[in-house]
Amino acid sequence: MLDDRARMEAAKKEKVEQILAEFQLQEEDLKKVMRRMQKEMDRGLRLETHEEASVKMLPTYVRSTPEGSGTTWAPHPEAAVGSALMKHKKLPLGFTFSFPVRHEDIDKGILLNWTKGFKASGAEGNNVVGLLRDAIKRRGDFEMDVVAMVNDTVATMISCYYEDHQCEVGMIVGTGCNACYMEEMQNVELVEGDEGRMCVNTEWGAFGDSGELDEFLLEYDRLVDESSANPGQQLYEKLIGGKYMGELVRLVLLRLVDENLLFHGEASEQLRTRGAFETRFVSQVERCSVSTRAAHMCSAGLAGVINRMRESRSEDVMRITVGVDGSVYKLHPSFKERFHASVRRLTPSCEITFIESEEGSGRGAALVSAVACKKACMLGQ
């Protein structure tokens, strides 16, 4: 009888392992994702293919000097901030905006679409800075000069740059997932000029929207996508972001219950409720196939960015720092370790340092704003 029970338990365990094995990605799978990401990045940078590219590669108008010895953001941020405050009667304002924006300048950008489940009417297709300026004007009880809008990845990169001047990549792994990096201006066809570098907001969350990830999507992924606020969009982000991770785990648990492999085949009403299993619960689990896949998928994207940078610069070995922020990266007990290890395996000719951003979104936006103010003051003299 004990032998029968042991055999039954062993069979159950084997079945569970088979189900969870669907989330495993082999090294060749990750290289395939990386190469496809690089292809879409290239399409996003080119003028003739930009509109059809799933990875939009949006110019941010945050630039570096042609010789690469510094950046247009201030070498002494405290001096720039002081100068900005003293010379402006209106209080200068910069802000972080974590959605896809087509910049026309540092203080002008058109919202392309909402992501991460957000929806608000009257914003898509309009200048976000202009909308904010109009709202401030309507209030009429204070004066502010909106001088800059930056993506949260850009703010993270700039904030971390002041800790490490080799930081040329910014990444967020939280509710959503995105990255930016310093691209050679000669490759940024949407902006005139070939000298120096410009920070590009990849908006890689939409990678896969044109079918690039179809072979890697599981039934759980399709269910999460179908029930989301934007079906068929942001598919790469839905494999990684914290907004979706808890729901993916819930769907896996439900399958285990339905196949009588968990909880004696009985699921609680809460477990059967969409959205009830929050990502913060996943962050309390050391070993999780869903979050491990997320870490590996994310590593393929970042490896694609970093390898592209090295090849563009014709460097045999490239040393680079990546600034990172986001709740999944910071709070999950094993995501960071698995992510780092996978990135380094996929970038053998790069020496990568990762640093966590502290209050990066606010600080980075403040630094860009200070430089924008200083530049405006110099032009006005």
Give the pLDDT band (50/70/90) at residue 123.
confident
- In this model, does residue 138 exceed pLDDT 60? yes
pLDDT higher at 153 or 264: 153
How many CB atoms are closer than 10 A to CB 302?
A: 27
Between the alpha carbon of residue 27 and those of residues 35, 116, 184, 356, the distances in Å are: 12, 29, 29, 26
- Residue 116 annotated to the active site: yes
Task: Mention every residue, 6+ apart, whose C-beta is less than 8 A from residue 135.
Answer: none
Q: What is the pLDDT of residues 18-50, one digit of tens each?
A: 999 999 999 999 999 999 999 999 999 999 999
Q: What is the residue extent of each domain of the chain?
A: 19-375
Average pLDDT over residues 274-302: 88
Indicate which residue of 56, 107, 145, 152 is catalytic: 152
Give the pLDDT band (50/70/90) at residue 143.
confident
Average pLDDT over residues 226-252: 96
- What local confidence, expressed as pLDDT, does residue 91 receive? 78
Residues of the chain with pLDDT > 70: what percent? 88
Indicate which residue of 116, 243, 336, 374 is catalytic: 116
Among 32-41, 264-273, 327-336, the range scoring the smallest mean pLDDT is: 264-273
CA atoms within 13 A on the CB side of 26: 2
Q: What's the CATH class of domain 19-375?
A: alpha beta
Give the pLDDT band (50/70/90) at residue 115.
confident
- Residue 152 annotated to the active site: yes
Q: Hey, what's the torsion of the CAs at 52, 192, 155, 173, to 10 degrees?
A: 20
Task: Mention every residue, 6+ apart, whose C-beta is less than 8 A from residue 307.
Answer: 34, 38, 346, 347, 349, 350
Give the pLDDT band (50/70/90) at residue 218.
very high
